[in-house]
Chains A and B, each alone.
With several copies, the nearest count.
Chain A
Amino acid sequence: MAGETRLSLHVPEPEVRPGDTPDFSNVAIDRAGTIRRPEIDVVPEEIRDLAFSIIRVLNRDAEAVGPWSGLLDADELRDGLRHMMTLRAFDARMMLAQRQGKTSFYMQHLGEEAVACAFRKALAPGDMNFPTYRQAGLLIADDYPLVEMMNQIFSNERDPLKGRQLPIMYSSRAHGFFSISGNLATQFVQAVGWAMASAIKHDSKIAAAWIGDGSTAESDFHAGLVFASTYKAPVVLNIVNNQWAISTFQGIARGGAGTFAARGHGFAIPALRVDGNDYLAVHAVARWAVERARANLGPTLVEYVTYRAGAHSTSDDPTAYRPQTESDSWPLGDPVMRLKAHLIRIGAWSEERHAQAEAEIADTVVAAQREAERHGTLHAGGHPSPRDMFEGVYAEMPPHLRRQRQRAGY
């Protein structure tokens, strides 16, 4: 019996590597407007297929079509465009600032701007996000001051986190943005706990959990699904599938399942897959999931299909593991360009207004940076005190830490 077949280990590989021609022909993409919009109290079993399709609103002609369209008016869409453009401009400046040594580290959102920006607008005040390091759009779309973000990035004397955290690891309770952790996936189950607390207190606030495609492999992703499924927690479970986890393509985390959304099926958690580069689609799906949660109908799993167009972080060089042109071949296009085209198409925007907006946004970002730099950058100017390192470890400083602080001279 033994010995018939020689076993062999299957190690998944991406279709292409540096030097190869990018090929996304295997990515099945549904036509915009073709995927149905179920009622929010639908039985999960009845929408199994929605974990394998891609909900899209903007078609090739930049029109908003189908049952998921029609939720946002022109003002809201222009706001959305401005948020995405701001995030992109912000990223560009901060990438430069990092290269100039003004900060140690940065992580950009290039190509993924729609996901967090559009999601944010589906939430109500008091709701809480548990983000990863790639959802600064949540802050920008909620009008968190850019200068505060930069103060944190520069670890300067106005840094709201007192220099304690790595750049971009923001925290803002007031803006519904939980403190970012460097440890992947931990926030996913914390979000479920926050949502459970809201339910325990008969509150109406809901939570949103965020995780990357690669990080779904982490165990706290499972913990999150288990607890959310068992207690029907009012939480939206977001997976941002940007195809890459540093140098590792999504196939390593995903394994045999066709999609990450499918992970919800084992828990009877309704799972939707959406075009992450389509501001309108992201917003519509987010709204659906948020409504479900707020109506006490429990968790929803959403996979945003997008592409990490930039490097993983300023410490990374993607040309070592994927074709340089892969980003251009990404079939879902660029979220900013797509929303811009739609606004123009509906007569609510123009190339001129866009150019003007771009310039204004650039000015805003530069002005914010100037202001932030007045308070210092990592190696120059104002900076947090070493005393700040000793503070806040505990609510009250215990004696041993006070001795250490004194020994350190502060």
Chain B
Amino acid sequence: MATMTMIEAIRDALDVAMGRDDDVVVFGEDVGYFGGVFRCTQGLQAKYGKTRCFDTPINESGIVGTAIGMAAYGLRPCLEIQFADYVYPAYDQIVSEAARLRHRSNGDFTAPLTIRMPTGGGIFGGQTHSQSPEALFTHVAGLKTVVPSNPRDAKGLLLAAIEDDDPVIFLEPKRLYNGPFDGHHERAVTPWAGHPLAEVPAGYYSEPLGRAAIRRPGAAATVLAYGTMVHVALADVAARGIDAEVVDLRTLLPLDLDCIAASVRKTGRCVVVHEATLTSGFGAELAALVQEHCFFHLEAPVARVTGWDTPYPHAQEWDYFPGPARVGEALAAVLEI
């Protein structure tokens, strides 16, 4: 099997999707000739022509709005928002339109679109190239929200997202594009090559939405993570020799509550980690669900390790980022109770 980076896996998924289905169209700012600022769409215009993969004007509402119209016509648009930090101008089209179209028209019109966007920090991108807005989508009925943590999932989940008949928000942790990242920014960068989850099957396959994956089984505590934080959690658990179970949620909505509840019922302790700001972050929903569904199994309160409630800073990136030290502290604290 070929080893791919996350970028290559995403590109491969788009290529497979476009090859299988003429109705899949790919567009966004700089995605056509150039192939996207992270090069996820490189080569697609040359291969499929410029009416199936093209550059758009810089208007995120227009990108999503036209995609909704195309989807209503019968296409399956897969569009790119250049950074998740720039999705807000499209928020109305996503929340008021894409998310509700099927319901409000009783299925007369649907919006099977996939909205890809790079998310998360760790690249000194400052406040407008680092945000993790997942909770703003999980609150909206009608949307699905996916966050892959490795190349194999990225390809399989993206293919599933494109095939899905509902609008899917597909968040790509940009710090993982070129290699797994364990939060040790002071160490040399690791490439994907050599990572088992960078072995990506050729051609078509898909990874169903709504299923979590246990990346490391364990009995002492449960860590709920997604995207970059899966790697941070795994590395930290390994480094400290803690027997924690690390659950990679993969899809935030629909959420694999069965997997989560089974794990916490087993371990009795739970730490939730994400990069987004704490208050009203997706970790709040996870903590609320865990205490609701595992109350009598919990030995300690569910702990949240997250970005602070500040804008994402530039110079203080590694003070903001919920890195290994903070994850480890939280785990230790939870285990002590």
Docked CA distance A173–B75 (Å): 15
Considering the chains assembled together, what is the distance between the CA atoms of A173 and B310 in angstroms? 23
Q: Any chain B CB within 8 A of the CB of A144?
A: no
Indicate if the CB atoms of A194 and B320 lie closer than 8 Å: no
- Considering the chains assembled together, what is the distance between the CA atoms of A219 and B124 in angstroms? 28
Chain A residues 196-217 with CB under 8 Å of chain B are 196-201, 207, 214-215, 217
B316 to A207, Cβ gap below 8 A? no
Residues of A within 8 A of B104 (CB): 161, 164-165, 169, 171, 179, 181
Taking the complex as formed, is B50 at the interface, i.e. its CB lies under 8 A from any CB of chain A? yes
Contact indicator A404/B309 (Cβ below 8 Å): yes
9-residue interface stretch from B2-10, B86-94, B147-155, B214-222: B86-94
Task: For B75, give its contact among A8, A200, A207 (CB under 8 Å).
Answer: A200
The contact of B210 among A105, A226, A398, by CB within 8 Å, is A398
Does B194 touch A at the CB level, under 8 Å? no
B122 to chain A, nearest CB (A): 12
| Chain B residues, Cβ within 8 Å of A222 | 59
Asked if B191 is at the interface (CB within 8 A of a chain A CB), the reply is: no
Are A182 and B126 in contact, CB atoms less than 8 angstroms apart? yes
Interface string of A149-192 (1 = CB under 8 A from B): 00000010001111111110101110000110111111011111
Contacts of A252 in B (CB 8 A): 55-57
Q: By the criterion CB–CB under 8 Å, are A166 and B314 in contact?
A: yes
Q: Does B254 reach chain A (CB closer than 8 Å)?
A: yes
Residue pair B75, A155 in contact (C-beta under 8 Å): no
The answer on a CB contact under 8 Å between B315 and A183 is no
Which of B50, B68, B315 contacts A193 (CB under 8 A)? B68
A401 is an interface residue with CB less than 8 A from chain B:
yes
Bound state CA distance, A193 and B69, in angstroms?
A: 4
Known A217-B62, A392-B103; contact A191-B128, beta-carbon cutoff 8 A? no
B54 engages A183 (CB within 8 Å):
no
Total B residues in contact with A, Cβ cutoff 8 Å: 76
- Chain B positions 314 through 333: 1 when the CB is less than 8 Å from some CB of chain A, otherwise 0: 11100110000000000000
Contact (A105, B85) CB under 8 Å given A186-B92, A389-B313: no
Residue of B nearest to A162 (CB): B106
The answer, yes or no, to whether B127 is at the interface (CB within 8 Å) is: yes
Report if B336 contacts A (CB, 8 A). Answer: no
The residues of A that contact B314 with a CB separation of less than 8 Å are: 104, 155, 163-167
Q: Does A28 contact B (CB under 8 A)?
A: no
Does chain B have a CB within 8 A of A347?
Answer: no
Whether the Cβ atoms of B166 and A247 lie closer than 8 Å is: no
Q: How far is the CB of A318 from chain B (nearest CB, A)?
A: 10
From known contacts A189-B62, A395-B110, infer whether A155 and B68 are also in contact, taking CB-CB under 8 Å.
no
With A and B bound together, what is the CA distance between A184 and B205 in angstroms?
38
For residue A250, give the distance in angstroms from its CB to the closest CB of chain B: 10
Q: How near does chain A come to B313, taking the closest CB pair, in angstroms?
A: 5
Query: Which of the candidate stretches A9-17, A82-90, A331-339 sits at the interface with the other chain?
Result: A9-17
- A404 cross-chain contacts in B, Cβ below 8 A: 278, 308-309
Once the chains bind, are A223 and B315 in contact (CB under 8 Å)?
no
Are A393 and B34 closer than 8 Å at their CB atoms? no
B142 touches A394 (CB 8 A): yes
User: Is A64 interfacial (CB-CB < 8 Å)?
Assistant: no
Q: Mark A303-316, 1 if CB is under 8 A from B, else 0.
A: 00000000000011
CB closest residue in chain A, given B73: A197
Contact B309–A400 (Cβ < 8 Å): yes
A155 cross-chain contacts in B, Cβ below 8 A:
314-315
Q: How far is the CA of A112 from the CA of B333 in the complex (A)?
A: 56
Is there contact, CB below 8 Å, between A169 and B69? no
CB atoms of A223 and B210 under 8 A apart = no
The reply to whether A245 and B254 form a contact with Cβ atoms under 8 Å apart is no
A406 to chain B, nearest CB (A): 11
A224 to B50, CA, bound (A): 20
Does A2 count as interface, using CB distance less than 8 angstroms?
A: no
Q: Which of B45-99 touch A at CB < 8 Å? A: 50-52, 54-59, 61-62, 65-70, 72-75, 85-86, 88-89, 92-93, 96-97
A248 within 8 A of B: yes
Residues on the A chain within 8 Å of B56, using CB: 227, 252
CB of A130 within 8 A of chain B? yes
Instruction: Report the nearest B residue to A383, measured CB to CB.
Output: B315
Q: CA separation between A408 and B325, bound complex, in Å?
A: 11
Is B141 an interface position by the 8 A CB rule? yes
- A192 to B68 Cα, complex, angstroms: 10
Q: Are A164 and B309 in contact (CB under 8 A)?
A: no
Q: Does any Cβ of B come within 8 Å of A371's Cβ?
A: no
Give the residue among B72, B165, B254 with the most A Cβ atoms within 10 A. Answer: B72
Q: Tell me the minimal C-beta distance from A393 to chain B in angstroms.
A: 5
Contact of A321 among B33, B59, B127, B320 (CB under 8 A): B33
| B72–A190 touching, CB < 8 Å | yes
- Residues of chain A in range 8-36 having any CB-CB distance to chain B below 8 Å: 8-9, 11, 13, 17
Which of chain B's residues have a CB closer than 8 A to the CB of A199?
A: 51
Residue of A nearest to B67 (CB): A193
Question: In the complex, are the beta carbons of B57 and A171 less than 8 A apart?
Answer: no
Partner of B128, one of A161, A166, A200: A166
Q: Which residue from B33, B61, B308 sits with its C-beta under 8 Å from A189?
A: B61
Give A222 Cβ to nearest chain B Cβ, in Å. Answer: 8
Does B254 lie within 8 Å of A226, measured CB to CB?
no
Given A195-B69, A392-B102, A398-B210, A173-B109 contact (CB < 8 Å): yes
New A-B contacts (10) at CB < 8 Å, excluding given A201-B74, A398-B254: A166-B128, A190-B72, A193-B73, A194-B69, A200-B51, A201-B75, A218-B59, A246-B34, A399-B254, A408-B319
Residues of A near any B CB (own CB < 8 A):
8-9, 11, 13, 17, 104-105, 128, 130, 155, 159-167, 169, 171-173, 178-179, 181-186, 188-201, 207, 214-215, 217-220, 222-224, 226-227, 230, 245-248, 252-253, 255, 315-316, 320-321, 378, 383-384, 386, 388-390, 392-395, 398-401, 404-405, 408
Interface pairs (13), CB distance under 8 Å: A159-B315, A166-B127, A169-B104, A179-B109, A182-B126, A184-B86, A188-B65, A189-B66, A198-B73, A200-B51, A217-B62, A220-B65, A247-B37
The 5 lowest CB-CB distance pairs between A and B, nearest first, are A193-B69, A163-B315, A182-B128, A193-B66, A166-B126
